[in-house]
């Protein structure tokens, strides 16, 4: 039996703080408090040597239930489709036109934040509708 009770999702990126703040808006997450002894994350980051510019930034579910998201700076850019993606569960329990309208409204909100609408997959005999999007750095995610 596993003893693991929590996990985080780590995403490689170019601008950790910018991407973390984007996902806070998407998910209703918050930036956790700065490390002990610092009033803000900016204060903490300014205390580091120049070669340690912001290497990572996190955001958390304020209720503490959902996983933490950690964004880490990597030198290379995104080249191909991500192997893991976030599914934003905006349409849970909804079906048909009501679900599609809810997903489209959420899509419009996220596009206003800088996300990109890639395609809408309409319901068929097996699956309900979902919308494939990209975040502000081009990482794919779904509204479902």
Stretch among 25-34, 69-78, 93-102 having the lowest mean pLDDT: 69-78
Please check whether residues 103 and 58 belong to one and the same domain: no
Handedness of CA 91, 96, 102, 107 (dihedral sign): positive
Q: What is the pLDDT of residue 81?
A: 81
Q: Is 23 exposed, middle or buried (0-12, 13-18, 19+ CB in 10 A)?
A: buried
The arithmetic mean of pLDDT across residues 25-54, rounded, is 88
Q: What is the pLDDT of residue 107?
A: 98
Please check whether residues 68 and 18 belong to one and the same domain: yes
More confident residue, 142 or 83: 142
Please check whether residues 92 and 64 belong to one and the same domain: no
Please check whether residues 107 and 53 belong to one and the same domain: no
Please check whether residues 24 and 56 belong to one and the same domain: yes
pTM, rounded to two decimals:
0.88
Q: Is residue 122 part of a domain?
A: yes
Domain end, chosen from 47, 73, 99, is at: 73
Q: Is residue 78 part of a domain?
A: no
Q: Is residue 81 part of a domain?
A: no
Q: Which two tokens stand for residue 15?
A: 């601008």
Q: Is residue 3 part of a domain?
A: no
Our count of domains for the chain comes to: 2
Please check whether residues 66 and 91 belong to one and the same domain: no
Edge to edge, the sheet with strand 68-73 lists 8-13, 68-73, 56-59
Q: Which domain holds residue 119?
A: 86-143
């Amino acid at each position: 039996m596993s003893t693991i009770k929590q996990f985080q999702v780590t995403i490689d990126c170019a601008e950790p703080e910018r991407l973390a703040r984007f996902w806070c808006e998407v998910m209703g997450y918050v930036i956790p408090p700065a490390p002990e002894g610092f009033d803000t994350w900016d204060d903490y980051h300014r205390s580091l040597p120049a070669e340690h510019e912001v290497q990572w930034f996190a955001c958390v579910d304020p209720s503490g239930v959902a996983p933490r998201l950690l964004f880490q700076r990597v030198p290379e850019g995104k080249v191909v489709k991500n192997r893991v993606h976030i599914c934003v569960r905006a349409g849970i329990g909804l079906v048909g036109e009501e679900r599609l309208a809810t997903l489209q409204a959420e899509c419009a909100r996220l596009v206003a934040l800088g996300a990109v609408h890639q395609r809408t997959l309409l319901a068929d005999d097996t699956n309900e509708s979902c919308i494939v999007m990209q975040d502000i750095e081009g990482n794919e995610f779904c509204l479902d």
